[in-house]
Structure 1
Amino acid sequence: MPVQAGSPRSGLRGRLLAAGGALGAALVLGCALPAGAEEATAAPSTRCQVTDPALAELSGLVVMGEQMLALNDGGDQLAVHLLDGACQVVDVHTAAIDPYDPEDLAVGADGTVWVADTGDNNANRPTVALLALRPDGRNSVYRLTYPDGPHDAEALLLAPDGTPYIVTKEILGASSVYRPAAELVDGGTVALAQVAGVGITLTGTPGGPVGQAGQLLVTGGAVSADGRHVALRTYTDAYVWPLTGSDIPAALAGQAERIPLPASPQGEAISFSADNATLVVASEGLPSDVTVVPLTAVAIAAAPPAAEGPVPSFADLTSSGLSPISSALIAAAVATVVVWISGKLRRRP
C-alpha cells in the first residue's frame, strides 16, 4: 500500500465535542498517576530561536551534540532538518516518501533516523507508518495497524534495543502505548499490540492552544541517549521516568516526575540534551524558542546506573551520509470544559 498523501489539518474539534459524553474513568487500567512537580535544579533557559519558515510547525526534535535534528509537522515530502547551535538550518535531508502526517523523530544507535508518521486528527487512517532513513541512503516504510481502531498519536519512544513505541494523544488524558506485535516488514503492514497505558491528569500549568485540555494531550516523547530516562510531554508539562534496560512498558508503569514547562503556543517537540542532564523542548509557531529545562533532582536520583558502551555522536551520523549535502478521573465538568475548548481551537492543535 502506498503512503497516504495529504495531511488532515482539522478534526480535533469534533473529537473534543464527542468526548463531552464520554464521562467516567479517564485512566488506562493499571498505569500510575504522574507525581507532582519537583523543584528543578535550575531555571529553564532559551538555547536559541527557530525562525526558518520551513519549520513553522516544528513537532520533532533530537539533540545531537551542539546540533539538532528537527522535523516539521505535515507536508507533502519527508524532510529532516539539521540545525546548528544557533537554531539555523544548515542542511536538509529529504526522501522520496509522501508522508500523511509526520509527528515525531528519533535516532537509533545505528544512525537510522526514525519518523513517526502517526498523526490522525480525524481518527480515520486504516494504517499509520514508521519511516526509517538509514545512513547508507536506504529508506523504509513500515505500515502499522492498531488492534482497536484508529488513534491520533504524536509521540515516538525508541527503546535502546531499537524497539519503537507509539504513545497516543487522548483528549481525556488516558494515553495508550503500542509496539509492533511482529517484526517490521518494509512495504508491508504489521499489527500493533497495546503494551502499556499512561494516565495524565490536569496540572494547572498554562500554555498551549486548547486551554486546560492541553495539560492532558501527549504531544511528544524521547529516550535519553544513555538509556537512563524516558520522557513524554504535553502542551504544558514533561513527565520523566527512570528506565532500566529497554523495558519501556515497565518504566511507564512506575511513578513519573512531572516538570512544568514554560508556556508556549503549541509545544510538541522534546529531546534530551547531549549530556542527558536536561530536556530540550520547542513549539510550533515562529519564532520558536528552543528551551533547555533541567531535570529535577528527584528524577536524576531515580535513574539507574548508566549502561556501558559508546553512545553514537552526531559525527557518527553525518559521516555515514545522513545528508547528501553534508554527507486522571474526569467528572461531568469535562463536558463543559471540552465544549468551551472547542470554540477556541486553532486551525490545528
Structure 2
Amino acid sequence: MLGVLLVGLLLGAGPAPALADPVEPPAPAAACVLADKRLAELSGLAADGERWYAVNDGGTKSTVYVLTRACKVERTISGPTDPYDVEDLARSPDGTFWLSDTGDNDKKRATVALIALTPDGKTTLYRLTYPDGPHDTEALLLDRADVPHLITKNPLGTADIYRPVGPLASPGPTALVHAGSIRLTATDTPGGPVPAGIGSVLVTGAASTADGSVVALRTYTEAYLFGVPDGEDLVTALGDHPIRIPLPDEQQGEAIAFEPDGSLVSASEGIGQPIRIVPGAAALAAPPPPAPPPAEAAQPDPGNDQPGGKDGLPTLPAIGITVVVVLGGALLLRRRRAR
C-alpha cells in the first residue's frame, strides 16, 4: 500500500489518469513454462495462432526465437544488425518482425532504432530521434497503417507517446514527434521487481490485435486494453478509459501479445517463468459494431399503387360496383316474378 500512496503523490501533474473500466476478466492461466536459458530476459512477444515469437532484452544480434505451444524453442530467425537494447517486438501483417531497439535506462542515447527483420533473416535499420531528449522506452505499437508508436517507461507514471513525423528512412535518423501522453492509476496487484503500486504504472510492453481494433499496454502487474474504433487515431484511442486485466505475480513481466482469436498472452523475464493466457480478452475492449443504416421507407408495388389493387380496380370502388351489380340483379329477379 505504501507504493500506491507514493505513486499517488508523484502523479500530481500531467494528463488525467486513465481510469480503468470495472470488469471481471478471466484470470491468466499458465500455458507452459519457459525453461530455455536463451530466453532468460524475455522482453517482447508476438503470436500468429500457431507459434509464439520472442525477443530478449538487450542482445548483440537481431534474433527472434520461434516457440511452440509447449514453450520449446523450435528455431531462431537472426539478422546481421547488432542492436543496442531491444525491448519489445511487433509483427506486421506481412510477417515482418519489428524489434524495438529503444531501451535507455541511463537516458544517454542520441538515437534509438527500429529494426525490421524478415522471416528469411534480412534486416533494415531505422534510426529515430526524440524531439525533447533521451527517453527509456520499452513498448512498441503499430497502428492499422503500420505506423510505429513508442510509449515511454516513466517512474512517475506518465507515459509519453511518440511517432515518426513522416515515412521511416534507412538508416535515418527520422525525427519523432510527441503525439500524446497517458497516465495510469496505481494498483495493489502484486508482482514485478519494484514495490507494488510503482510497478503497476511502468509501461513495459505493448501489443495490438491483428485487425488493430484493440491495443494493450502492459506494466509489471497489469494489462490495459483500449478499443480503437474504425477511423480513430491510435493516440486518441489511448486517451479513453481502458479495460484493466491484472497480471499478478509475474517476476518481471515485460512481454505481451494477442492471439488471432483475441486471447491475451503475457510472459516474464526469468528462467522457469510461465507463458500465460487470458482467453477472449480483446472482446472486453472491442469497439461496438457500427450502427446499421436507417431502414428505407417501404416503396409501393408499381402494380399495387392503390389499396388492394393489383392488376385490377381499387378495392373500395370494386366493392361499390359489386354491391350495385348484386342489387340490380335482385331487382331484376323480383320484376320477373311479378309478371
Class of the TM-score when normalised by the shorter of the 2 chains: 0.7 to 0.9
Counterpart for residue 318 of structure 1: none
Q: How far, CA to CA, are the matches of 2:75 and 2:223 in structure 1?
A: 29
Matched, 1:194 2:194: no
Q: Tell me the secondary structure at the aligned position of residue 215 of structure 1.
A: coil
TM-aligned CA distance change 1:255 to 1:298, over 3 Å:
farther
1:52-131 to structure 2, matched below 5 A, reads 52-131=36-115
Contact 1:239 1:259 in 2 (8 A): yes
Q: How far, CA to CA, are the matches of 2:186 and 2:250 in structure 1?
A: 17
Matched, 1:51 2:35: yes
Q: Scaled by the length of structure 2, what TM-score is found?
A: 0.78
154, 177, 188: which is aligned to 2:161? Answer: 177
TM-aligned CA distance change 1:94 to 1:174, over 3 Å:
same
Q: Highest Rg: 1 or 2? A: 2
Offset of 1:282 from its aligned partner?
0.3
Counterpart for residue 258 of structure 2: 272
Offset of 1:162 from its aligned partner?
0.5
TM-aligned CA distance change 1:54 to 1:184, over 3 Å:
same
Give aligned pairs, total. Answer: 281
Q: Tell me the secondary structure at the aligned position of residue 249 of structure 1.
A: helix
TM-aligned CA distance change 1:287 to 1:186, over 3 Å:
same
139, 144, 154: which is aligned to 2:123? Answer: 139
Q: Tell me the secondary structure at the aligned position of residue 99 of structure 1.
A: coil
Q: How far, CA to CA, are the matches of 1:153 and 1:185 in structure 2?
A: 20
Quick check: 106-115 or 162-171, which moved more? 106-115
Quote the RMSD (CA, aligned, Å). Answer: 2.0
Contact 1:27 1:199 in 2 (8 A): no
191, 207, 228: which is aligned to 2:213? Answer: 228
Q: How far, CA to CA, are the matches of 1:27 and 1:234 in structure 2?
A: 20
TM-aligned CA distance change 1:102 to 1:139, over 3 Å:
same
TM-aligned CA distance change 1:133 to 1:304, over 3 Å:
farther
Offset of 1:298 from its aligned partner?
7.7
Counterpart for residue 225 of structure 2: 240
Q: How far, CA to CA, are the matches of 2:63 and 2:282 in structure 1?
A: 36
153, 168, 175: which is aligned to 2:137? Answer: 153
Matched, 1:256 2:251: no
Indicate the percent of aligned positions where both proteins have the same amino acid: 48
Paired letter, 2:270: G
TM-aligned CA distance change 1:150 to 1:35, over 3 Å:
same
Contact 1:113 1:132 in 2 (8 A): yes
Counterpart for residue 191 of structure 2: 207
Contact 1:38 1:296 in 2 (8 A): no
